[in-house]
Amino acid sequence: MQSSKPGPVILIVATAVALFLLMPLIAVVPVSFTPARFLSMPSGNLSLRHYQALIDNPAWGQSILLSLRIGILSSAIATALATLFGLGIWMFQPRFSALLIGFVLLPLVVPPVVSAMTLYFLMTTLSAFNNWIGYDTWLGVGLAHAVMITPFAVVLILVALYQVDRRIDLAARGLGASLATRAFKVIIPNIKFGIATAALLSFVLSWEEIGVTLFITSVNAITLPRLMWMGLRDNIDPAIAAISVLLILVTAIILGIRIFIERRGAAKSQ
Amino acid sequence: MTGKWPTSRKILLLAPLLLFLGLAYVVPFLGVVRWSFTLPEPGLGQYHALFTDPLVQSVFFRTLRICLIVTAASLTMAYAIAYVWVRGSSVQRMLAEFCILVPFWISVLTRAFGWLAMLSNRGLINTWLQSAGIITEPLALARNEFGVIVGMTHFLIPFAVFPIASAMRSIDERVLLAARGMGASRTRIFWTVFVPLTYGGLIGAALIVFVFALGFFVTPAILGGGRSVMVAELVYLRIFQSPDWGLGAAISVVLVVFIGILLALMRRFIKPAHLVG
- The partner residue sitting opposite B124, judged by closest CB among A41, A106, A150, is A41
| The pLDDT value given to residue B27 | 96
Clarify whether residues B152 and B238 are in a common domain.
yes
Q: Left if phi > 0, otherwise alpha if psi is -120 to 50, otherwise beta: which for B183?
A: left
**DSSP state, residue B139:** P
The pLDDT score that the predictor gives to residue B3 is: 46
Task: Please give the torsion angle defined by the CA atoms of residues B199, B202, B208 and B212, in that order, rounded to the nearest 10 degrees.
Answer: -140
Q: What angle do CA A269, B2, B3 make, to 5 degrees?
A: 145
**Lowest mean pLDDT across A116-130, A145-159, A244-258, B262-276:** B262-276
- CB-based contact A223:B83 (threshold 8 Å): no
Cα B161 from Cα A184, distance rounded (Å): 36
pLDDT value of residue A1: 45
Q: Does B178 touch chain A (CB under 8 A)?
A: no
Cβ contacts of residue B55 below 8 Å, gap of 6+?
A: none
The ranges assigned to domains in chain A are 51-269
In a domain, B44, yes or no: no
The one-letter code for the residue type at B6 is: P
* C-alpha to C-alpha distance for B169 and B156, rounded to whole angstroms: 21
CB B101 within 8 A of CB B159: no
Contact A41, A258 (CB under 8 A): no
Residue B176 lies in a domain: yes
* Interface A:B, Cβ pairs < 8 A: 288
B162 vs B74: CA distance, rounded Å:
12
Helices assigned H by DSSP within chain B: 7-21, 27-38, 45-52, 54-87, 90-105, 108-119, 124-131, 145-169, 173-181, 186-189, 195-197, 199-214, 218-224, 231-240, 245-265
Same domain, residue pair B10 and B78: no
B117 vs A22, A106, A241: nearest CB: A241
Q: What are the angstrom distances between the C-alpha of B131 and each of A23, B116, B161?
A: 19, 19, 36
* DSSP label at residue B1: -
Q: How many domains does chain B have?
A: 2
CB A54 within 8 A of CB A239: yes
User: Is the Cβ pair B32, A27 closer than 8 Å?
Assistant: no
Q: For helices B27-38 and A112-127, give the axis angle rounded to 10 degrees.
A: 90
pLDDT of A105-122, one tens digit each?
999 889 889 999 999 999
pLDDT of residue A207: 93
| Domain ranges, residue B26 | 1-38
Comparing CB atoms, the residue among B122, B249, B275 nearest residue A155 is: B275
B225 φψ region: left (φ > 0), alpha (ψ -120 to 50), beta (else): left
B32 and B70 within one domain: no
| Residue A64: other Cβ atoms inside 10 A | 17
Cα separation of A68 and A46, whole Å? 31
Same domain membership, residue B238 and residue B147: yes
Both B16 and B144 in a single domain?
no
When pLDDT is averaged across residues A144-159 and rounded to a whole number, the result is 95
DSSP-derived secondary structure letter, B138 = P
Q: Is the pLDDT of residue A268 over 70?
A: no
- Position A7 confidence tier, pLDDT thresholds 50, 70, 90: confident
Residues 6+ apart with CB under 8 A from B217: A112, A113, A211, B230, B232, B233, B235, B236
Chain A, nearest residue to B99 by Cα: A18
Q: By three-state DSSP, how is residue B111 classified? A: helix
Weakest-pLDDT range from A3-7, A191-195, A218-222, B79-83: A3-7
pLDDT of residue B16: 93
Rg (CA), chain A: 23
Residue B138 shares a structural domain with residue B17: no
What is the per-residue pLDDT for A236? 79
Stronger pLDDT, B74 or A239, i.e. the higher one: B74
Whether residue B127 sits in one domain with residue B26 = no
B23 and B66 share one domain: no
A270 confidence band (pLDDT: 50, 70, 90): low
Residue A164 has pLDDT above 50, yes or no: yes
Distance from CA of B57 to the nearest CA of A (A): 19
For B198-224, write each residue's pLDDT tens digit: 999 999 999 989 999 988 888 888 898
What is the Cα–Cα distance from B206 to A137, expressed in whole angstroms?
A: 38
Distance between CA A206 and CA A187 in Å, rounded?
Answer: 27
Q: Are A255 and B102 in contact (CB under 8 A)?
A: yes
Nearest to A158 by CA among A85, A263, A220, A210: A85
DSSP assignment, residue B41?
S
Q: How confident is the model at residue A223 (pLDDT cuts 50, 70, 90)?
A: very high
Q: Of B18 and B136, which is predicted with more confidence? A: B18
pLDDT at position B195 is: 92
CB-count exposure of residue B33 (10 Å: 0-12, 13-18, 19+): middle
Taking only the tens place, the pLDDT of each residue in A38-53 is 888 787 788 888 898 8
One domain, residues B25 and B139: no
Contact residues on chain A for B110, CB-CB shorter than 8 A: 25, 28, 228, 244, 247-248
Amino acid identity of A25? L
Distance from C-alpha of B265 to C-alpha of B127, rounded to nearest angstrom: 48
Confidence at A3, pLDDT banded by 50, 70, 90 = very low
Residues B31 and B93 in one domain: no
**Which residue does chain B place closest to A253, by CA atoms?**
B102
Q: Which CATH superfamily is domain A51-269 in?
A: MetI-like (1.10.3720.10)
Kindly report the pTM of this predicted structure: 0.89
CA A17 to chain centre: 24
Mean of the per-residue pLDDT values for chain A?
Answer: 89
Q: pLDDT tens-digit profile of B112-151?
A: 999 998 998 888 898 889 888 888 888 888 888 999 999 9
- What is the C-alpha to C-alpha distance for residues A237 and A235, in angstroms, rounded to an integer? 6
pLDDT of residue B276: 65
**Alpha-carbon A264 to chain mean position:** 21
How far is Cα B224 from Cα A59, in angstroms, rounded to an integer? 27
pLDDT at B2 over 50: no
Residue B108 pLDDT > 80: yes
In this predicted model, which residue has the larger pLDDT, A179 or A268?
A179
CATH number at residue B236: 1.10.3720.10
Report d(CA B110, CA A244) in Å as an integer: 6
What's the N-to-C CA distance of chain A in angstroms? 27
**Shared domain check, B200 and B171:** yes
* pLDDT: which is higher, B49 or A61: A61
Distance from CA of B263 to the nearest CA of A (A): 9
Examine the pLDDT at B5 and tell me if it is beyond 80: no
One domain for residues B7 and B74: no
- CA B265 to chain A, closest CA, distance in angstroms equals 14
Provide the residue type at A54 as one letter.
Answer: L
> What is the band of B1 on the pLDDT scale with cuts at 50, 70, 90?
very low
Chain A contact set for B20 (CB, 8 A): 81, 146-147, 150
Classify residue A26 by its DSSP letter: H
Q: Are A158 and A91 in contact (CB under 8 A)?
A: no
List, for residues A58-80, the tens digit of each pLDDT value. 999 999 999 999 999 999 999 99
Q: What is the mean pLDDT of residues A217-223?
A: 92
ipTM: 0.88
